[in-house]
A and B are shown apart, each in its own frame.
Chain A
Amino acid sequence: MSALRGARLTDPAAEAGWGAQERPRMGFFTDTSVCIGCKACEVACKEWNAIPEDGLDFTGMSYDNTAALGASTWRHVAFIEQNAPVGNQEAGVARAREQVAQVEEAQGAQRVDLGMPGIGPDPAGGSQDFRWLMSSDVCKHCTHAACLDVCPTGALIRTEFGTVVVQEDVCNGCGYCVPACPYGVIDQRPEDGRVFKCTLCYDRLGEGMEPACAKSCPTESIQFGEIDELRERAQARVEQLHGAGVTQARLYGEDPGDGVGGAGAFFLLLDQPEVYGLPPDPVVTTRDLPRMWRTAGIAALGLAAGFAACFAGRRR
């Protein structure tokens, strides 16, 4: 636990007992600026990992009907519709609306609202600015993983690739990891009882293959590789975008000094993390655990002392 107090953990796999076996830590860099929201990653993940269907719902909030990561959703593409520009790019939304209005007037036609985003009244009042943010979310495979720390059975393990994986033959479904995850990734499959999450395709990695989602991504928004190389690539990419005028571009989760010691799956975002449903400053809960144990020890001693005092108070 001393490692949780400030010190940087550069090689989580070696610290977890794999030893220095020259195997680099693997992870994802998800560059959301080139995500087109095709959801190929969601499908590829479901197919490869044989994940059961978990609800064909219509959320009514956007083109995102997957809604969130969960026990049976290990990749989730978020869709955010904004009246904001992407760098210097012009969306031409107002002109499009103008043209639609002209057609309506000429033909006396009326638009029918089918509940799809972007059809209602123009919320920006004729603004030119419009963008879709799309981002494929995934388990962060934290350097300091709360799920792994709190697992009482040892079902959650650190693999030789530095990733975090649930051993399904060990998990007894205690559910502790679920509220422990600061990102809300891992969840219990109700009909099964056990918890499930992204394995970073542990089985494929063992064969030298890249994870199914990265393999299927048509725009290379999901990039798989060695963490160190991905960090360099991410830094170069954010500088490139800043140079192109996309000043909102920022990296999320790549900093080894953050509250989870750096994520094994990090992102390039075009807005604040919470817009994508990500916590802005996640902290592994076990960072405060040594202090909690001390406090509980004092409280337990206090309880015993309190009772002792009540008996010592007046002898019969």
Chain B
Amino acid sequence: MSPEVTREGPQDDRPGREATVGSAGGRGPGGDGRWGEGRRKRRGRRGEALMVPRAEFTSYYGRPVIKEPVWEERDIAGYFFLGGLAGASSVLAAGADLTHRSTLARTAKVGSAVAISASLVALVHDLGRPERFLNMLRVVKPTSPMSVGTWIVSAYAPAALVAAASTVTGKARPVGALATAAAAAAGPAVAAYTAVLVSNTAVPAWHDGHREMPFVFAGSSTCAAAGLGMLGASLTDAGPARRAAVVGAMTEVVATRLMKARMGVARETYETGSAGRLMTTAERLVAGGALVGAIAGRRSRVVSAAAGAALMAGSACTRFGVFRAGVASAKDPRYTVEPQRARLASGAGSTQQSHA
């Protein structure tokens, strides 16, 4: 329908993008706009379900607003556990070296070397283009926790491997001592940065926990390393591991509870479904493992090993639970929309509404 051009100029010219949509029709502003006989009775009702389920919030056909993580759970949640185990174990190893607890030092060093090696495999495997893993070393970006983490792990992994190799072979002891110290220095960063990695996303269950997540991860890492120490070291050497388990379990349990309490609606994802079961199991395992280890761990090798295994399993449950809670919170638009809507309603929104 192109405009007809006559001697008087263009006729029937359409307004295009200036079209005043909604201004046509007989209803004046404020009028009720009814015509005909008004409301009529419904007939032929067949009781079909509504296309959009009724809810307190609105969404686009219940579809998620944000994309759920594309990371493989086994690789990435597994890495959070293994990286935490490795990082904290290196700290434990340095302490064991300084206090001459040889079986504890050996367990922690070998454990961290194995864990960080498996971590690297998992991380490269999770890439969409594994052959391009070296592209991670193109830049140093403080705005990207993954970039920062890459550099931390790049510094840490060789040190952890050299420390373990030196202890196992008994060779190059001065180098081994230096590597042990370097790994212990980088270890806490390896254990804690992954909390920033997950929190620095739009995933509600992760981002909304960013104040407490580093403590959850640090506590969980401590539990894993302490558990490994109790599992592998002699009863006399494992004393610090048993004490660390208590500190780690307390930190993890308190930080997790605090995180959930301050989170808002997304806390539901930590309390329901498989994530909820994992988080509950994690709390029982780390608390139970730490308690049993502290009370009865010094008397029996079997009890010590069982408590250690429980601590490690609990630490893994925490990481997989956090991972699944994040995925669940990304899938349901409610966890994205409701807090943002509440933020706007309270006037604390980041947008200054210039139009009502």
Q: In chain A, what residue has the closest Cβ to B255? A: A299
Q: Is the CB of A277 within 8 A of B202?
A: no
Would you call B344 an interface residue if the criterion is a C-beta within 8 Å of the partner chain's C-beta atoms?
Answer: yes
Would you call A9 an interface residue if the criterion is a C-beta within 8 Å of the partner chain's C-beta atoms?
Answer: no
Q: Is the CB of B135 within 8 A of A153?
A: yes
Would you call B26 an interface residue if the criterion is a C-beta within 8 Å of the partner chain's C-beta atoms?
Answer: yes
Among B19, B31, B34, B241, which residue has its beta carbon within 8 angstroms of that of A34? B19
What string of 1s and 0s marks CB contacts (under 8 Å) between B319-334 and chain A?
Answer: 0000000100010010
Q: Is the CB of B215 within 8 A of A299?
A: yes
Q: In chain B, what residue has the closest Cβ to A316? A: B99
Would you call B218 an interface residue if the criterion is a C-beta within 8 Å of the partner chain's C-beta atoms?
Answer: yes
Least CB distance, A73 to chain B, in whole angstroms: 12
Q: How far is the CA of A101 from the CA of B211 in the complex (A)?
A: 60
Q: A289-B200, A302-B215 are in contact. Are A184 and B65 (CB under 8 A)?
A: yes
Would you call B169 an interface residue if the criterion is a C-beta within 8 Å of the partner chain's C-beta atoms?
Answer: no
Q: How far is the CA of A126 from the CA of B36 in the complex (A)?
A: 11
- Which residues of B from 58 to 72 have beta carbons under 8 Å from A? 58-61, 63-71
Least CB distance, B88 to chain A, in whole angstroms: 6
Q: Is the CB of A303 within 8 A of B202?
A: no
Q: A170-B138, A291-B210, A302-B215 are in contact. Are A315 and B99 (CB under 8 A)?
A: yes
Q: Is the CB of B60 within 8 A of A80?
A: yes
Q: Is the CB of A192 within 8 A of B128?
A: yes
- Give the interface size bracket for B toward A: 35 or more
Least CB distance, A133 to chain B, in whole angstroms: 10
Among B22, B146, B221, B351, which residue has its beta carbon within 8 angstroms of that of A86? B22
Among A85, A171, A280, which residue has its beta carbon within 8 angstroms of that of B129? A171
What string of 1s and 0s marks CB contacts (under 8 Å) between B66-86 and chain A?
Answer: 111111000000000000000
Least CB distance, B22 to chain A, in whole angstroms: 2
Would you call B274 an interface residue if the criterion is a C-beta within 8 Å of the partner chain's C-beta atoms?
Answer: no
Would you call B2 an interface residue if the criterion is a C-beta within 8 Å of the partner chain's C-beta atoms?
Answer: no
Residues of A within 8 A of B43 (CB): 101
Where the two chains meet, the residues of A that have a C-beta atom closer than 8 Å to any C-beta of B are 1, 31, 33-34, 59, 61-62, 67-68, 70, 78, 80-81, 85-90, 94-95, 98, 101, 104, 111, 113, 117, 120-123, 125-129, 146, 149-155, 170-176, 178-188, 192-195, 219-221, 223, 237-238, 240-241, 244-246, 250-251, 255, 257-259, 272, 274-283, 285-286, 288-289, 291-293, 295-304, 306-311, 313-316
Top-3 shortest CB links A-B: A173-B128, A87-B22, A193-B128
